[in-house]
Structure 1
Amino acid sequence: MPRPRLHDLDELMDVAERMAVDSGPAAVTVRALSQTAGVSNGAIYHAFGSRTALLARVWLRAAQRFLALQREAVRSASGGAVEAVVAAADAPAAFLIQQPVSARFLLAVAREELLGSGEIPDDLAAELRHLDRVLTELFGTLSDDVFARRDREAVAVVRDCVVELPTALLLRGNRSPDPPVRARLAAAVRAVLALTPPPPT
């Protein structure tokens, strides 16, 4: 059976992404995707190998979209290093507005679940793990820019600003990314960065 063309794969992933957001990840089965997308089971297995690999591929695509948006937000930030961290922290809100389905998919499907399943190819697992290194490098660069340090304690402060605060103020409560919420997030990030990190250990 021929492998679907690249644009068809993107369309299949679009359908799977929407199904996971609308009905939960468990609803994304090969049979359900086949019926919804009008593509044979065999073509889906041929393209992705397994249901878990399909979900991992959709997760990776969504995460790459998010990281591209975040990198551009940091690059375009004006006002210095602190505002670059504010831009990185605001990226989840911007992603929810610009690409709501991909953003909700990332919230619905845990990456650790995919990696722990043991059912995805090694190359795809390596791509997922590579995202950690991309984020670590971003945190280190921002830490250097703000604190002129890249030790664990300084990087942890940046990570709190870019990951923990958006999760607490926006993602965990499933709030709409409206201007007042984003303004509170920006104020919280600036307040945290005004504190000197603990000395390196």
Structure 2
Amino acid sequence: MTAVIAGGVAHDQAPLDQAGLIRRFPAEDQLRAASSPGRLCATVVSDGGARPRIHDPELILDTAERLVAGSGPDGVTIRGLAAATGMSNGAIYHSFESLPALLGRVWLRAANDFLDLQSTLVQQALNTGGQPATAMVEAVVAAADAPAVFALRRPAAARMLMGVRREQLLGPDLPDQLAADLFALDRRLLALLSHLIQGKLTPAAAIASMATGHRFSAPEARDLGLVDDVAELDRRIATADGRVRPLAGKDRTTLAAIKTTMFASALAALRDTQPAPATA
């Protein structure tokens, strides 16, 4: 019996010359190298003259991501994954104990990759060396641009985050580790937003702005449970003529749909961290 270790299959991504926007930012492989110490590898095991058995968790995740993006969660089955990857049912179950756990990992990986990209773009904007107020505006704009950049680099992942609700992939019976990782993701998003606004506003206002891209009146903010100075955030992201900056020239409905996924997750986490109201 011999074992050969080979690199996993890379994610689908658009060429860098599709849009001027994407050329302003580092390639995805650089972002991954900076944020991930290693990547799951494929193991090809050969036993004599028998057909090799492929064991590649990343290939499973890549394939499942494309299937979810194209057909929704109901279009993903273990048998379909086995046929698409050339792996056995047993090898898939060996990597992921159940289909719900696998789908949870697919969503978590895409959401983490999006947040990694968004965090990098925000930090680049804050490190421009200009005036702090200008850098802050650019950081907010970079955060708002992140979905467009992500959609160019990871079209399948972006379609999944845009078109599939988190609850459709994440059922009630998630493994403890996956549930903990999802909670950690929510906390990371809140930490990014808190850093972005540098304590000037509560995370809720930034979440609302990034998720919807429009100005909130005080009543609207209260209806969403947002208790802070929304006008201050408007001031930071508005252009000189008073209009909110466009989101990288992309269709606002599409971008809002992508960001709504992150909004729902972050707002739920924010509310979970608030103390329960006192009972009479």
Structure 2: unaligned runs, 5 residues or longer: 6-39, 42-55, 129-133, 215-245, 256-280
**Alpha-carbon distance change, 42 to 108 in structure 1, aligned in 2, over 3 angstroms:** farther
State whether structure 2 residue 195 is matched by structure 1 residue 141.
yes
Q: In the alignment, residue 33 of structure 1 is paired with which amino acid? A: L
Map 1:43-192; keep pairs closer than 5 Å: 43-77=91-125, 78=128, 79-115=134-170, 117-144=171-198, 148-150=199-201, 152=202, 155-165=203-213, 179-181=248-250
**Alpha-carbon distance change, 110 to 31 in structure 1, aligned in 2, over 3 angstroms:** same
Q: Which has the higher contact order (CA 8 A, sep 6+)?
A: 1
Q: Which has the higher strand share?
A: 2
Larger radius of gyration: 2
Percent identity of paired positions between Structure 1 and Structure 2: 47
2:67 counterpart (1, 19, 34): 19
TM-score w.r.t. the length of structure 2 is 0.53
d(CA) in 2 for partners of 1:83 and 1:142? 10
d(CA) in 2 for partners of 1:69 and 1:86? 14
TM-score w.r.t. the length of structure 1 is 0.73
Q: Which secondary structure state, in structure 1, belongs to the residue aligned with residue 174 of structure 2? A: coil
Q: In the alignment, residue 180 of structure 1 is paired with which amino acid? A: G
Cα offsets for 1:38-60 (capped at 9, x unmatched): 11111111210111100111111
Q: Which secondary structure state, in structure 1, belongs to the residue aligned with residue 213 of structure 2? A: helix
d(CA) in 1 for partners of 2:144 and 2:247? 14
Q: Which secondary structure state, in structure 1, belongs to the residue aligned with residue 138 of structure 2? A: helix
Cα offsets for 1:62-116 (capped at 9, x unmatched): 111111110111011144111101101110111001111111122233223444x
Q: Which has the higher helix share?
A: 1
Structure 1: unaligned runs, 5 residues or longer: 167-176, 186-201
Aligned equivalent of 2:8: none
> Between Structure 1 and Structure 2, how many residues are aligned?
163
